[in-house]
Structure 1
């Protein structure tokens, strides 16, 4: 197997040996590394600090969300695409992925609220994120039949347009996990007690 040779930083002799700490500076022998260490020390960044580059920016994954369609009588599970948020730097942990909601809201920028408490104010272990259109009423979107059917309240504080629900992986809201049938209880309680104008916590 062939090796790539680079000049020793101290004497210029071609070598394939490098500083094992940073793996970026070449020395023909350990003696030259020892001699150059007082200068090289300040520039020697351990390669382990760059061991977490993160996934490609455009990597897409999916999770199971809940769709309350405006023109159907019942909610259903749907696959929601996620795009990994860009990394601010190589040293930062990744931010929460970005949901790809264009299939449900088109070019509009939907808003969301966080449902962190369920029945009787008990905190939910995996908070729910409810996405909705803030202009659905003005745009004359239809009343959401799925929510209307679930609550049995046809005319009081109706929701309009599609509603998409995602489930956070934990209380820190750093990622998503698949929603399931157990999440319907907390959602029903919320839809019965809140309106779109009286939200507990909103995210832009």
Structure 2
């Protein structure tokens, strides 16, 4: 995971115009066709412990950088901190952050509800896509979202997670069959209708019983 010092340094050396473009691109990928507002809005995004704030306009075409900043008088204000951003790489934590106020949305009731609804519509694959793009943008290797050695059922949030666990189980079935069975059983719990996963669970159990 990127630590605060590395990210702070990267932000400081990155031209503001490039930062604005990157933030708008990320928001457009996350919220594409999901936010319905009655008119164009000015938006500020703040990361408090980075002491950074970005300004943009939200139109029917999406988020666009503002040529002239609107400090202190934006229609919609989003604010959070780095720890929350990192935790929100999991959709469940993103929703928790919204509910707890760790991600704060300040706007009139209608616009706030539009944003909250758009946040709730974000999928885990969309988040994974943004995270991977962010790391590539910073020329860093993205971390694996699921720790295969500690994964539990609650860590599985989308079908791609099931695929990842299933494929890892197959990769280690020759070298660590007990672990492969544990992973395949997790995949089976998450996707009980999958015939390949079901058959693999039965195969692994029989092999272990015969030893």
Fold equivalence (TM over 0.5)? no
TM superposition score normalised by structure 1: 0.24
Higher helix share: 2
Higher strand share: 1
Mark the structure with the bigger radius of gyration: 1
Greater relative contact order structure (CA < 8 Å, 6+ sep):
1
